Structure 1
Amino acid sequence: MSVIIAGERSGVGKTTVTLALLASLCRRDRSVQSFKVGPDYIDPMFHQHVTNRACRNLDPVLTSETYVQQCFARHSQLSEYAVVEGVMGLFDGIGHRESGMEHGKEKRKSTDFASTAHIARLLDLPVVLVIDCSRLSGSVAAIAHGYKSFDPQIKIAGVVLNRVGSDRHLSLLKDSLKSLQLPILGVLRRQDNITIPDRHLGLVPTAELRQLDAVINRLADLGDTCFDWQSLLPLLKSKPLPISSSPHLPTPYSPVRIAIVRDRAFNFYYQDNLDLLQQLGAELVYWSPLVDAELPKDVQGMYFGGGFPEVFAQQLAENITARNAVKTAILKGMPTIAECGGLMYLCEQITDFEAKSWPMVGVLPTSALMGGRLTLGYRRAVALQDNLLVKAGKTIYGHEFHRSRLTSTPNQPLFDTSRYDSEENMGYEGWGLPMNVYASYVHLHWGESVEIPQQFIQQCRSYSSLI
């Protein structure tokens, strides 16, 4: 069955509740598969740290409604239990779009496309609603009633009351909810000893948190005592689901070694993308421009994910041998993908929040400047030229999330971009070097676009034949 952990709005404690559930289940040696609604990279890192299983993103904008259903069906059956963490508030989507619209195929009007509620309907899953009770008592019933009755297709299995202050406070909350006959599946008191630090793009990633295991243990203790497990466990139990056939992938005819940059500075990757590369014949070799002096031996391509290069700019700058190795490989024609943080690393320099500038690889004739303005949202991007990943005229869908900007724009940009949920033009975007570099702020999920990793691997094979 599984459930979706949803919030009545952002910041009510969805991630805390989800991690407490996962940690408590794993402490009992139960196998559990987690999912995250939306394009988020950081919350899935915490899920994976707890479960030792890669968390899967469920995002119908980056992929499609069909892909979301297939992904959930495929991975939820590999574990005894499954938990889905929602995004923002339950009904917060990207606006007036067509539900059932898989990149242009319109079906019916919806105001919550890509919301947690949308995913709940797609997967036919009950919702556990997390309510922040820190500043209310009797009003909790009005909130719960509104969410329960707003959409008859959404089944609210129960509520979790978070940030409860005292026994008296809890008594008032329970009395108010009695008339709704809505189960209270968990009660979390105000917690002062469970905190996960955050910064300009959300939570600090797991690789940077030295005390994370201690925090997870406290979350497991919380989960052991705060949930109504007798009611929750049957909801969480995975059940067999029909799985439609996956697209046929060609049998690899020669191995390709691809360097995947993964460390504290670069760690934003969708696991599905890495899986696709392997299924298409790639051997993934992980390395770090923070600590490694050279590229891994005999690699034929590089993949720089997003992350926080601005936080580690000094260390990246000081590793001159790694910067030179990357630059030399690119100038020799090695196929290279660089998304967001990876794009910043390929620039001439990064200027951090303290206005200090640090030299980077220098293959892109621009600099990345950190600033206060957040660029956020789904993008529709139309390729203006043939490039490493797509042909001219191809439309792709991605997501931007960054607080940096480039000091100059390319003479021949890769894409003409617009918001996904409106016709608002976002300008030209993306840098490329002939056909071997793809550098863009737009993060891509390849699940519904297998031709993208196929094209990348083909370019890597072509490069290997030249060296």
Structure 2
Amino acid sequence: MGLIIAGDRSGVGKTTITLALLASLREQGVSVQSFKVGPDYIDPMFHTYITGRPCRNLDPVLTSPEWVKTCYLHHGQTADCAVVEGVMGLFDGLPYNCHPDDRYFGSTAHVAKLLNLPVMLVLDCGRMSNSVAAIAHGFQTFDPSLNLAGIVLNRVGSDRHQEYLEAALEPLNLPILGVFPRQTQITIPDRHLGLIPTAELPHLNRILDRLAHLGKHHFNWQKLQQFLPIPPSPHLPISPSPHL
């Protein structure tokens, strides 16, 4: 079982959502093999710290599509499930003229199709309401061969904001797999290369505890059960908290 986490662009909260998912699963006793699309080495440090297993990079540009599939199958089969964090926007890859056999070679979408994985799309809703439906519809229909499992609404401002977003999305019949509030309590510092490495963060455990709590209360675990082996637990809500 596995899931790939993508964004409509960089900066929408992919890493925060991924870490919240990994931390929540580990808290429930699920063994998770994590992967990262592309050559990034800092995000995988956080994955490894949470899961206790080395995160593996999946990069068809620096390796090959066949190697990506081999790596995923070899390492993924040793855990209960696999979680893959994407890179940039879902369809952002090499230009078409570099690889005419694939319009977005090396992208998260490319890796999702190589591995036949469902995609959870993270959308930053902090500065929009009804427009979320246009964005979701575009990603839902752009490539029909891609399995878009559902979306996560990130940086939602209030209960009323959530109601507007859900009403706008209802005609699309696209599952909402999580609703995460706009918050400033969980901030992982960054610099020009991306996140600051784990060894330089003295309060990392506190941050990860907050991420686990966030994931526990704001993912729709009932809907996620079809993609991830989530054990029944009286401490795990099956749907997101109605109060942001």
- TM-score, length of structure 1 as denominator length: 0.48
What is the alpha-carbon distance in structure 2 between the residues aligned to residue 235 and residue 169 of structure 1?
28
Matched, 1:186 2:178: yes
Of 168, 176, 183, 1:176 maps to 168
Cα drift, residue 160 of structure 1: 0.1
1:36 aligns with 36
What is the alpha-carbon distance in structure 2 between the residues aligned to residue 57 and residue 43 of structure 1?
10
Cα drift, residue 109 of structure 1: 2.9
Q: 1:97 to 1:118 in 2, by over 3 A?
A: farther
For residue 110 of structure 1, what is the amino acid of its counterpart?
Answer: D
Alignment length, in residue pairs?
A: 230
For residue 167 of structure 1, what is the amino acid of its counterpart?
Answer: D
SS in 2 for 1:36: strand
Decide which structure has the larger Cα Rg and report it: 1
1:140 aligns with 132
For residue 160 of structure 1, what is the amino acid of its counterpart?
Answer: V
1:83 aligns with 83
- TM-score, length of structure 2 as denominator length: 0.92
For residue 203 of structure 1, what is the amino acid of its counterpart?
Answer: L
Q: What 5-or-longer segments of structure 1 have no aligned partner?
A: 100-107, 239-467
Q: Deviations over 1:194-236 (max 9, x none)?
A: 0000112111000110000000000000010000111113212
SS in 2 for 1:235: coil
Q: 1:12 to 1:130 in 2, by over 3 A?
A: same
Matched, 1:201 2:196: no
Cα drift, residue 155 of structure 1: 1.2
Q: How does 1:219-234 map to 2 (within 5 A)?
A: 219-234=211-226
What is the alpha-carbon distance in structure 1 between the residues aligned to residue 208 and residue 10 of structure 2?
22
Residues 97 and 109 in structure 1, CA contact (< 8 A), matched pair in contact too? no
Of 182, 200, 213, 2:205 maps to 213
1:351 aligns with none
Q: How does 1:2-401 map to 2 (within 5 A)?
A: 2-97=2-97, 108-237=100-229
SS in 2 for 1:63: coil
Cα drift, residue 62 of structure 1: 1.1
What is the alpha-carbon distance in structure 2 between the residues aligned to residue 233 and residue 26 of structure 1?
15
What is the alpha-carbon distance in structure 2 between the residues aligned to residue 98 and residue 208 of structure 1?
38
1:381 aligns with none
What is the alpha-carbon distance in structure 2 between the residues aligned to residue 228 and residue 199 of structure 1?
32
What is the alpha-carbon distance in structure 2 between the residues aligned to residue 153 and residue 159 of structure 1?
17
How much identity, in percent, do the aligned residues show? 62
Residues 94 and 106 in structure 2, CA contact (< 8 A), matched pair in contact too? yes
Cα drift, residue 95 of structure 1: 1.1
For residue 89 of structure 1, what is the amino acid of its counterpart?
Answer: G
What is the alpha-carbon distance in structure 1 between the residues aligned to residue 228 and residue 150 of structure 2?
13
Q: Deviations over 1:12-48 (max 9, x none)?
A: 0000000000000001111000000001000000000
Q: What 5-or-longer segments of structure 2 have no aligned partner?
A: 231-244
Cα drift, residue 97 of structure 1: 4.7
SS in 1 for 2:122: strand
Residues 30 and 229 in structure 2, CA contact (< 8 A), matched pair in contact too? no
The answer to which of 88-97 and 43-52 deviates more is: 88-97
What is the alpha-carbon distance in structure 2 between the residues aligned to residue 199 and residue 177 of structure 1?
35
SS in 1 for 2:179: strand
Cα drift, residue 191 of structure 1: 1.5
Normalized per residue, the structure richer in helix is: 2
Q: 1:97 to 1:75 in 2, by over 3 A?
A: farther
Normalized per residue, the structure richer in strand is: 1
What is the alpha-carbon distance in structure 1 between the residues aligned to residue 98 and residue 69 of structure 2?
17
SS in 2 for 1:12: coil
SS in 1 for 2:225: helix
SS in 2 for 1:220: helix
SS in 1 for 2:202: coil
For residue 163 of structure 1, what is the amino acid of its counterpart?
Answer: R
Deviating runs (4+, > 3 A) in structure 1?
Answer: none
Q: Deviations over 1:98-140 (max 9, x none)?
A: 65xxxxxxxx532311000000110111100000000100010
